[in-house]
Amino acid sequence: MKKTVDVSIPIGPMHPCWKEPIRLKCETIGERVLRTEVELGYMKKGIERIMRGRPWQEVMFLAERICGICSVIHNMVFIEAMEGISGIAVPPRAAYLRVVVNELDRMESHILANFSYCYTIEHETLAMYLLNVREIVLDQLERITGSRINTAYMIPGGVRFDITEEDAAALLAGLARVEEDVERYTRMFATSYLIALRSRGVGTMTREKAIEAHAVGPTGRASNVPECDLRLQHPTYQKLGFTPVCRTEGDNFARNMVRFDEVMQSISLIRQCIGQLPEGPIRGGGACTAGEITYQGEAPRGELTYYIKSDEYGRIIDITVRTPSIMNIEACTHHMINDVTSVADVTSTFISSDPCVACTER
């Protein structure tokens, strides 16, 4: 017998828990959510259209402005795509420094995502603790690149700045502080009765549903889909012996715990890079030329894909960007939110997927 909808409840586009405007339209029977649809279009930037016809030097800066939270990976994927088109080699020292900066960016993004979740379920104490520790991570990004957010650190054939012994020591000291704090906050999150009540068994998505919806990043790995981590395919991460973090529960709790665990993994990867940092130059040189490529990288939220076509001067003729939140928002609205037992859990389940509307609408 078909269930009759009692009421349709719109959530957004303006909502205290949303970082960016988006509308969820939920159809409910009593408190149980039957179906959810997402409505986008409130902050379309048209940035892909702006990129076309411009030289790579300008597009590089535009790429990292697609998202103000995970800007480093947009810079990295665009630059590595241009290197793939042009056959430009990267010195080993620069390749390791790219991993250091990329993992710092992943850390601050994950910490901000878990802050948003804790704030959404009204655990404001833990939320503020997480926001404070994120500042330490941003300080380390600024120390290495000169900027906290839009770093423009990677260029074809290498990176802009080397790291000094003094800066490396300060970075490791900062990571030790972050590690101590995140270990404590992870225990708080894992043992809190309030968090368990609002998180365990809520917004569950099975491995099969995650694969069907092409969920990526921590959202997919919380449903035991380790193969969605594209760092497995990156040559520098392969040298570091990288293995993905996974959980099997597939609920709100698991998605946040994967991000906590990945923060600790990022600290380990950065320490490994600093400990094994090869001697040598940080720039190999080379010119961007004509070509066409589809290139992918692992953003904090998951699979980030750039399709690029350039001319002989390195000018971008065509470009298309597919961001991870495109897949994760669909997975969330059609598999996680549907059948939650309370409308109050809609916002927390949506936030648990770490949606980025700026990336999605580009």
Q: What pLDDT, on a 0 to 100 scale, did the predictor assign at position 48?
A: 86
Tokens 């193969």 belong to which residue?
227
Examine the pLDDT at 1 and tell me if it is beyond 60: no
Q: Which residues contact 191 (CB under 8 A, 6 or more apart)?
A: none
pLDDT-based confidence at 292, cuts 50/70/90? very high
Average pLDDT over residues 169-179: 95
Name the residue ranges covered by the structural domains of the chain. 44-324
Q: Is 347 within 8 Å of 17 (Cβ atoms)?
A: yes
Q: For the packed helices 92-120 and 252-275, what is the interaxial angle rounded to 10 degrees?
A: 150
- Band of the pLDDT at 43, cuts 50, 70, 90? confident
**Residues 273, 158: Cα–Cα separation, whole Å:** 16
Check residue 276 and give left, alpha or beta (phi > 0: left; psi -120 to 50: alpha): alpha
CA–chain centroid gap for 228, Å, is 13
For residue 293, the model assigns a pLDDT of 92
> Quick one: pLDDT at residue 2?
53
pTM score of the predicted model: 0.94
Burial track 82-108 (b if 16+ CB lie within 10 A, e otherwise): bbebbebebbbbbbbbbbbbbbbbbbb
Whether 48 and 319 have beta carbons less than 8 Å apart is answered as yes
* Among 67, 104, 123, 116, residue whose Cα is nearest residue 270: 104
Of the candidate CATH numbers 3.40.50.720, 3.40.190.10, 3.30.360.10, 1.10.645.10, the domain formed by 44-324 belongs to 1.10.645.10
Contacts of 299 (CB under 8 A, 6+ apart): 70, 73, 74, 77, 217, 323, 324
- Chain segment 274-290, per-residue pLDDT in tens: 999 999 999 988 888 99
